[in-house]
Structure 1
Amino acid sequence: MVIDLSVQLMQATVQLEQPLGDGTRTVGTGFLISETGPDGKPRTILVTANHVFDKMPGANARIGYRIANADGSWSYSPQPLKIRDGAGHPLWTHHPSRDVAALAITAPEAFAKAAIPEDYLAADDTFSKYQVGAGDEMMALGFPRGLAANPAGFPILRAGRVASFPIAPAKIFPTFLLDFAVFPGNSGGPVFMSGPARRANGDPAQPRPDVEFIAGLLTQQVELNSERLDIGIVTNAKYIRETLALVTNPAAPMTVVASQSVISGAKAASAEEAATQE
């Protein structure tokens, strides 16, 4: 299945929010992945940063669905999303060592169709196969401080360049830096490449292949002395794949991370801080 990843991800990326009861709300970003469930039937998985759900104290959040109208316009129609059971226990699955969460959901038909096939998540060899590294441009979708691109509730598309080296293999470098401004509310948004590779297997004589893959998700921003450095921290898609595996099998093997990539001054682009007036 070949898709225009930029357009499809626009459709598959949603705002996640929870009212706090004082006229404000917490905000984060999520995106939909399609995969085959244990019963052999297709299912839709909502992916976000674990801290987005963790910082929402209530049992019910809202997911920002959009409805296409007959006249070509769109309507924003957030719907309830249950994230905790009656005892307050999380219903989502999270990775044991990385800031990734996944929740199987029943999405409206249009959103289920827009969900990105799991195969578009970068695999272990994707970065090395396309020689992805420092200076390559990636794009990110999100809702900075709860702001959407328009009243229809579509996410805002940003771009930045990979700002760290090396970025592979993921088991040693589970996160990498992206040079772009990050705000509360961006957490959980997809980071992806779409277009010709900058290098084709290291041979400048070869044509540049088009690449379409999700490189990871935005989980943190970098600060120094309370000053934002306009640098985002991206968790590699490998750990999204592993979290999806945990949804099906809680005993699925996880990667032992050689380095925890602790970055001085790193701070989650926290949904808790994305409190905005409703």
Structure 2
Amino acid sequence: MVMDLAVELIHATVQLEQPLGDGTRTVGTGFLISAPGPDGAPRTVLVTANHVLEKMPGATVRIGYRVSNPDGSWSYAPQPFKIRDAEGGALWTHHPSRDVAAISIKAPPEFARAALPVNYLAADDTFAEEQVGAGDEMMALGFPRGLSANSAGFPILRSGRIASYPIAPAKVFPTFLLDFSVFPGNSGGPVFVSRATKAQPGVTQVSDAPRDPGFIAGLLTQQVELNSERLEIGIVTHAKYIRETIDLMQNPLAPATVAETTTSVAGGRTASAEEAARN
């Protein structure tokens, strides 16, 4: 049972980057979901926004894994994986009408274990059952401007309130608005509701019944701009379309969707927010 969805998703969220020839890099966010494959066996699926992968022209992308060390520290250990075949064809599966992409990966064991079960993705009736609506708070994880929370490469956690109404059903309102600042690099990150509560000193837990940890509401796909001015509003695509994209991976006519990671990139590092503040 996942008890703190925020912490679990932090471990399941990764930076995606592709260095470009001019010394810059294209950056996005992805997160890992555990879903059954065509044979019923579990597989690790990387979910992100479709435009994140489309805008990466090369065949290989770095995925920002993190490794825990015996002394309690963490190291950033990115690994390359292919997103295009030799002819340039996409190896990922994308939703036919929404900005959602998914690709099956062979992640290191600790990251395969960190992948969230597919049932944590909101279903068609989740918003109604949970009575989620305008003004409610949600959280989001990502790498704004390619920045991490620290040198270990963990994502930055943000929060905001639902800024649109109505937000369901998803088939009628496929996206909704979240009131918080969005930057390039945030795209593809998970947006979620966490029900975790911290135990207070001296307070006895009344019930031993499992608590609802929350759910993944969708993924961040766009920022709202008007005349090149950012309005500090994010557009979130409902998790329904993540579920549908993962289901499309079962289609034998879909693109080849298994991308195998190899060895870590030597000298891989990530830019932290603290470093950016010093510059």
Q: Normalising to structure 2: TM-score of the pair?
A: 0.84
Shift of 1:2: 3.2
Q: Tell me, yes or no, if structure 1 residue 225 matches structure 2 residue 227.
A: yes
The letter for the 2-side match of 1:215 is A
In structure 1, the partner of 2:2 is 2
Q: Distance in 2 between matches of 1:68 and 1:189?
A: 22
Q: Distance in 2 between matches of 1:79 and 1:35?
A: 22
The letter for the 2-side match of 1:121 is L
Whether the 8 Å contact between 2:3 and 2:196 is mirrored in structure 1 is no
In structure 2, the partner of 1:205 is none
Listed as ranges, the matches of 1:66-215 within 5 Å are: 66-195=66-195, 210-215=212-217
In structure 2, the partner of 1:38 is 38
Q: Distance in 2 between matches of 1:243 and 1:104?
A: 12
Shift of 1:56: 0.3
The letter for the 1-side match of 2:22 is D
Counterpart secondary structure, 1:153: coil
Shift of 1:211: 4.9
Q: For the structure 1 residues 231 and 72, does the alpha-carbon distance in structure 2 shift closer, same or farther, using more than 3 Å as the test? A: same
In structure 1, the partner of 2:249 is 247
Q: Tell me, yes or no, if structure 1 residue 52 matches structure 2 residue 52.
A: yes
In structure 2, the partner of 1:22 is 22
Q: Distance in 2 between matches of 1:4 and 1:246?
A: 29
The letter for the 2-side match of 1:159 is S
Shift of 1:233: 0.1
CA deviations 1:217-261 (Å, max 9, x no partner) are 000000111110000000000000000000112679xxxxxxxxx
Q: Distance in 1 between matches of 2:148 and 2:185?
A: 10
Counterpart secondary structure, 2:249: helix
Gapped runs of 5+ residues in structure 2?
A: 198-210, 255-275
CA deviations 1:172-222 (Å, max 9, x no partner) are 00000000000000000000000279xxxxxxxxxxx74510000000000
The letter for the 2-side match of 1:18 is Q
Whether the 8 Å contact between 2:121 and 2:215 is mirrored in structure 1 is yes
Q: Distance in 2 between matches of 1:75 and 1:251?
A: 39
Q: Distance in 2 between matches of 1:8 and 1:211?
A: 10
Q: Distance in 2 between matches of 1:152 and 1:8?
A: 16
The CA RMSD measured in Å over matched residues stands at: 1.7
In structure 2, the partner of 1:266 is none
Q: Distance in 2 between matches of 1:211 and 1:132?
A: 14
Counterpart secondary structure, 2:78: strand
Q: For the structure 1 residues 128 and 251, does the alpha-carbon distance in structure 2 shift closer, same or farther, using more than 3 Å as the test? A: farther
Q: Distance in 2 between matches of 1:211 and 1:62?
A: 31
The letter for the 1-side match of 2:116 is I
Q: Distance in 1 between matches of 2:213 and 2:5?
A: 10
CA deviations 1:127-162 (Å, max 9, x no partner) are 000111100000000000000000000000000000
Aligned residues: 242
Gapped runs of 5+ residues in structure 1?
A: 198-208, 253-276
